[in-house]
Amino acid sequence: MKQRSLVFLFLINALVLPAQDIQFIKSGQIEQWKQADTDTVWVLNFWATWCAPCVAELPSFEKLNANYADQKVKVVLISTDFKREVETRVKSFVKKKKLKSQVVFMDESNPNNWIDLVSPEWSGAIPATLIISKSKNQYLFFEKQLSYEELETALRSVL
């Protein structure tokens, strides 16, 4: 009986618990991540719900987030969807895919003002990923779809 009510509670929770809130960030956040004096390694992925190669590589980021949860590694999925679709399309996507990594929205209307802050190498095409390791003083940038192996190899090189 006790077990059954636990299962029931779990189900209720799963149904009622809201998807994670999507925080809006400004371009200054990129600078903060790059300059913060911390031993946390940031894995920043730029994506959009409609971008097929982005969606295809999301499980790799989720896996990395889970596998390195006990280390100082933070995965942040930075959405570049349209602002009017954050509350609808992006939110329901995050919920449907049960994304555990933190999802934020880049609330800037002109990408020309912040793409170079991420990396001068970046042309603006997504998917794109920046790994920041302040303790190793390394920034690794990729403008392509990454496999889990590529992602983990990159991360390990700066841990």
Paired strand residues for 74: 42
Q: Which one of 8-16, 59-67, 93-101, 109-117 is the stretch in contact with other proteins (CB under 8 A)? A: 109-117
CB under 8 A: which stretch of 28-36, 46-54, 57-65, 69-77 binds other proteins? 46-54
C-alpha 63/C-alpha 76 separation (Å) is: 13
Q: Measured between alpha carbons, how far is 76 from 104 in angstroms, rounded to an integer?
A: 7
Q: Is 122 in the site for other proteins (CB under 8 A)?
A: yes
Contacting residue, 7, 11, 52, 66, with other proteins by CB under 8 A = 52
Applying CB under 8 A, does 51 fall inside the site for other proteins?
yes
Among 26-34, 37-45, 64-72, 105-113, the segment contacting other proteins (CB under 8 A): 105-113
Residue closest to 65 by CA, chosen among 20, 34, 1: 20
59 φ/ψ angles, rounded to the nearest 5 degrees: -60, -30
